[in-house]
Amino acid sequence: MVKELTVAVVGATGAVGQEMLKGLEERNFPITKLKALAAPEEAGTLVRFRGEDHVVEAAAPESFEGCQIALFAAGEVVRWLGPEAVKRGAVVVDNSNTFRMDPTVPLIVPEVNPEDIRNHQGIIANPNCSTIIMVVALKPLHDAARIKRVVVSTYQAVSGAGVAGLKELEVQSKQLLAEEKIKPEVFQHQIGFNLIPHIDVFEENGYTKEELKMLYETRKIMHEPEMKVSATAVRVPVFRSHSESINIETEKKLTAAEARQILSRAPGIIVQDDPGQNKYPMPVFTAHTDEVFVGRIREDLSIENGLNFWVAADQIRKGAAINTIQIAEILVRENLV
């Protein structure tokens, strides 16, 4: 095992980057030296880690000299900086969409396909947040009864659009209560007290890229290239934590009680399923946590081998920062850096 680790966090000043720093500290990740990197205009600002201020540097190829791990939360810049980090000996774990469908790059959710990490060639991709949340819940059920088809509708918090999304919901909520005029800037329409069935751009087939990510990424992560997945992605006026309504059809019959038991034993899942006591997952309670919460588990009355359930999870933590750190933890534990 590597005794001393120099870790770069690229995008250290952003929402996900900040959550990475917090998660690395909380999980006592074995960092000897931290390199906080960001865009040139952020250079010189300070970020806090383990009780100390760290000066942010402009991310450049030479920034990765001596690094063993580089965690990216900075979007498309990874396309050119990622390979530069690899050339200098770092393993890159990337949060962007850049490498996810590259057949040479593992797409990892540690609770689902940790073994794929061993196939990395220097870069490992972190999936889309909604995909991560869904496949954590799908995997144990798939292992038990083999899933044939998935229909999912997402209820995605505005924090998925970054700090600007959070601010827009806050501002619009105040404006609406004051009966002031709304002018959308971040989202396509008013998000305050509204739902928008439109995340990312539309493709010719009528689906958005966000919806198609859930199809293609799920197939890759679960090694099921023919799995049928139909998604509808919706932006909702919630500050933090995504929710999903999921319907599955399985080859083998699973009762709701069996599914509940399987999920309660699965890693990374907390079952909250007591409708009689009004207990079920909700964003307000799952925000700032690292697990995927599952509830409303019930049999689909329209088909023989079907289940419906509801999930919620913090998309900034499990859907991004923490999943990235979990990947890095496996790299260290298995001496892959």
Active site members: 129, 242
Question: Rounded to whole angstroms, how far apart are CA atoms 191 and 196?
Answer: 7
Helices of type H across the chain:
15-26, 78-87, 129-145, 163-177, 209-221, 256-265, 283-286, 322-333
Q: Token pair 């001496």 is at which residue?
A: 335
C-beta separation of 294 from 273 below 8 A: yes
- In the structure encoding, which two tokens stand for residue 251, read together? 């080859």
Question: Rounded to whole angstroms, how far apart are CA atoms 223 and 135?
Answer: 12
C-beta separation of 336 from 179 below 8 A: no
- In the structure encoding, which two tokens stand for residue 165, read together? 């999304």
Question: Rounded to whole angstroms, how far apart are CA atoms 126 and 149?
Answer: 23
C-beta separation of 39 from 90 below 8 A: no
Backbone angles phi, psi at 41, to 5 degrees: -70, -15
Question: Rounded to whole angstroms, how far apart are CA atoms 236 and 312?
Answer: 13
Half-sphere exposure (Cβ direction) of 181: Cα atoms closer than 13 Å: 1
- In the structure encoding, which two tokens stand for residue 107, read together? 């797409």
Q: Strand, coil or helix: what is 97? A: coil
